[in-house]
Amino acid sequence: MTDGKKDDMALANRAANGDERAFRDLLEIHYTTIFRMAFRFCGNKHDAEDVTQLTCIKLAQNISSFKGDSSFTTWLYTVVLNTGRDWKRTQVRHDRGSIGLETVENVLPTSDNPEQAFETTQKMAAVYNLPEPEREIVWLVYGEGLTHKEVAKIMGMAEGTISWRINEARKILKEGGKI
């Protein structure tokens, strides 16, 4: 276990026992990750800000349910995804249009190469248009760098199912000429 994971575990345990400073520290450490995941789920900055705020509220309400059976970040990804799904269900209309360069810069490293930035934007838009849960799985594996085993735990699926869904996503993207 890395020091960051130990720190997360200690902060989460303290926060679960009512330590407000520990909870604020957890949010400071993981806010960017929460926003990045929310952005990937929503596809635009405005909605991602809403989902991020809702996630922070859910974290405050549910921090005591974190038992340490997995890393804090694995648990956090689950909370972000569930919050995003809940948010999506409450939306009367959810625009799944293309993602513009102006919003992508908030979650991707900037590139001095305009062609590379444009290609990255196109790939993000293609992934955004994948069916769920393939889209979520692709973001977790490729966007967050999680293993298939970690994603399986977050998604509540078998590891083999994650691998199969990644393969299906690749097929869809390849057919669309996006990879």
Q: How many CB atoms lie within 10 A of CB 150?
A: 20
DSSP track, 70-128: S-HHHHHHHHHHHHHHHHHHH-S-----PPPHHHHTTTS---S-HHHHHHHHHHHHHHH
In a domain, 141, yes or no: no
Cα–Cα distance for residue pair 9/67, rounded to 1 Å: 9
In a domain, 177, yes or no: no
Q: What is the CATH number of the domain that holds 55?
A: 1.10.1740.10
Q: Is residue 130 a contact partner of residue 168, using CB atoms and an 8 Å limit?
A: no
Given this model, what pLDDT does residue 159 score?
94
In a domain, 103, yes or no: no
Residues spanned by the domain of 13: 1-95
In a domain, 27, yes or no: yes
Alpha carbon of 108 to those of 60, 63, 104: distances in Å? 27, 29, 6
Q: Is residue 161 a contact partner of residue 150, using CB atoms and an 8 Å limit?
A: no
Given this model, what pLDDT does residue 107 score?
47
In a domain, 153, yes or no: no
In a domain, 31, yes or no: yes
Structurally, the chain folds into a number of domains equal to: 1
DSSP-assigned letter for residue 131 = P
Which long-range CB contacts under 8 A does 120-125 form with residues at least 24 apart?
Answer: 122/178, 123/178, 123/179, 124/40, 124/99, 125/98, 125/99
In a domain, 115, yes or no: no
Given this model, what pLDDT does residue 25 score?
95
pLDDT tens digits, the chain, 179 residues: what are they? 445 677 899 999 999 999 999 999 999 999 999 999 999 888 889 999 999 999 999 999 999 998 888 889 999 999 999 999 888 888 755 444 444 434 444 444 455 666 666 666 667 777 777 888 888 898 888 888 889 999 999 999 999 999 999 999 888 888 876 55
Q: Is residue 166 a contact partner of residue 138, using CB atoms and an 8 Å limit?
A: yes
Given this model, what pLDDT does residue 177 score?
63
Cα–Cα distance for residue pair 87/99, rounded to 1 Å: 19
In a domain, 132, yes or no: no
Q: Is residue 66 a contact partner of residue 72, using CB atoms and an 8 Å limit?
A: yes
